[in-house]
Amino acid sequence: MIRGVVRGVAVVAAGGLVAGALLAASVAALPEVAAEPPSTVVQPAESRQLRVCPGPLLSLADDAAAAATARSVGAPELVVAADPESAAIEQVPLDAPDNAGAAADGGPVAISAEPGAVLAGMLAGAQSQAAATESLSGLAAAACVEPASDSWLVAGATEVGRSGLVLLANPGEVASTVDVRVVGEAGAVEAPAGLGIVVPPASQRVVSLAGLAPSVRTPVVHVTSSGAPIAAALQHSVVLGLEPAGVELSTPVAPPATRQVVPGLVVTDLQGVAPDEDHAEGDDFAALRLFAPDDAEASAVVEVRDEGGAAVSRIDVTLAAGQTTDLPLGALDPGSYTVVVDADAPVVAAARSTVLGDGDDPILADLAWSAATGPLLERAAVAIPEGPGASLRLANPGDAEVTATVAIGGAERSVTVPAGGTASVAVQGGDRVILDGVEGAHAAVTFEADDALASIPVAPPGPLDSPVRVFPQ
């Protein structure tokens, strides 16, 4: 009897030991085993590379008998950069039936290279034009962009004294059907006239932004197309009283993302408005325009960083569902800044800066819209058009410094971009710049003078020109 009890106790004890071992095994941390899947980066098959330059500045209502007719006010200067520099680049003018002055001043220009003539993604173009007419004044500069079926234009206004023109260029061989949708501070604008716009092949259409969305203070324009992809741009101009007070040509910003980086925001004076004045009026202060395309409220943190990478301002902002926001950036010391936006939902962004004229009560002389850009690949080509005080701004939003190689006309130099900061390289009109070692960086070309201000984003190549990482099965 005693032997049976002892045997039973032994069995129970053994069971307890096994259970304890199982429990310990379930609680103890298991060794981590991770395998990096094999992959390789491949370059898509060489294809014809294409960029489209928006063409000359346009003016409306110069002729009272044809108030809705657009007419160019001269021709822009165009510069093309490619690697190799000796590559044959074709420049093809597009028809501009909506421009009454196209016969004299030309229209948009498509620049292209045959497959294999230019290294993938290493074709760039840019244009600039100074205006001094009764309705337009200032410097406008723009990049030549890849056509796309989905683009966001973040700039401009249609309040009193502000006007805008949406430029839709189709360099393809088939017609494109385009929808132009506008969102403002009060939400989406009902504009049936912006839907189903047919852009014939090898031509440009011009659409009045005020005709689609009158009296909108903070418009964001969404351009989508079916058929051929479209190269979109937005011309924005200001008239104060009877005097023209600035003009800019804006090309598409980076697509919606939870992080946006705006490089090369140039501030020329201490004129500013506090960030909590969300209904600040006018153009003569630095501001950031934000829009979250998802139909829900979004929160964002905006950091304004100086060239050394220090955050001189940090602003929390809530974006109303379906509405655009202009966020004043406060009084910033003159200089160049990078604006970094981190949001809990995808957003699009661009920043406005201005230059004021001389006098006891200076008024706006010119303005620039600095677009949010995508991160660059390892190498990039940059074309520098004519303009005063030209600088290439390299912004590094990362946590480690970047050393880039900048080649201009065969002469190379190394440029160190501090973590979170910016490096500026002086350039001049006609320069063709090749950047190396800039993966993850952002860039813009800026122009600055006492009465002129302009900005050109340096965008990475589109998906067709970009390397692809492949995971074999």
- What would the pLDDT profile of 384-394 be if each residue is shown by its tens digit? 999 999 999 99
For the segment 18-31, the average pLDDT, to the nearest whole number, is 44
Check residue 15 and give its pLDDT. Answer: 46
- pLDDT, one tens digit per residue, over 41-82 is 555 555 689 999 999 999 985 544 444 689 999 999 999 999
pLDDT band (50, 70, 90) for residue 208: very high
Contact 313, 303 (CB under 8 A): yes
For the segment 437-466, the average pLDDT, to the nearest whole number, is 91
d(CA 315, CA 329): 8
Check residue 4 and give its pLDDT. Answer: 42
pLDDT band (50, 70, 90) for residue 300: very high
Check residue 273 and give its pLDDT. Answer: 85
Three-state DSSP at 405 gives strand
- pTM for this one? 0.87
Check residue 25 and give its pLDDT. Answer: 43
Contact 363, 328 (CB under 8 A): no
- pLDDT, one tens digit per residue, over 226-269 is 999 999 999 999 999 888 999 999 999 999 999 999 999 999 98
Q: What contacts 240, CB < 8 A, 6 or more positions away? A: 161, 363, 364
d(CA 111, CA 144): 8
- Which class for 451: exposed (0-12), middle (13-18), buried (19 or more C-beta within 10 A)? middle
Q: What is the DSSP string of 301-315?
A: EEEEE-TTS-EEEEE
- pLDDT, one tens digit per residue, over 112-144 is 999 999 999 999 999 999 999 999 999 999 999
Query: Which one has a higher pLDDT value, 29 or 430?
Result: 430
Check residue 16 and give its pLDDT. Answer: 45
DSSP state of 6: H
Beta carbons within 10 angstroms of residue 102's beta carbon: 22
Least confidently predicted of 142-146, 163-167, 271-275, 468-472: 468-472
Query: Which one has a higher pLDDT value, 15 or 198?
Result: 198
Average pLDDT, the chain: 88
For the segment 454-472, the average pLDDT, to the nearest whole number, is 74
Peptide bond just before 244 cis, omega within 30 deg: no
Q: Locate 398 and state its tokens.
A: 């990362």
Check residue 428 and give its pLDDT. Answer: 96
Check residue 17 and give its pLDDT. Answer: 38
Beta carbons within 10 angstroms of residue 265's beta carbon: 29
For the segment 187-204, the average pLDDT, to the nearest whole number, is 97
Q: What is the DSSP string of 237-278?
A: EEEETTEEEEEEEE-PPPPSEEEEEEEEEEE-SS----TT-T
Backbone φ, ψ for residue 7 (5° rounding): -65, -40
Check residue 277 and give its pLDDT. Answer: 72
Q: Please list the residues that pair with 422 across neighbouring strands.
A: 395
Give CA torsion, residues 455, 460, 463, 469, to 10 deg. -160
- pLDDT, one tens digit per residue, over 340-376 is 999 999 999 999 999 987 766 678 889 999 999 999 9
Contact 369, 350 (CB under 8 A): yes
For the segment 273-285, the average pLDDT, to the nearest whole number, is 77
Query: Which one has a higher pLDDT value, 15 or 214?
Result: 214
d(CA 293, CA 182): 12
pLDDT band (50, 70, 90) for residue 14: very low
Residue 109 has pLDDT above 80, yes or no: yes
d(CA 147, CA 232): 8
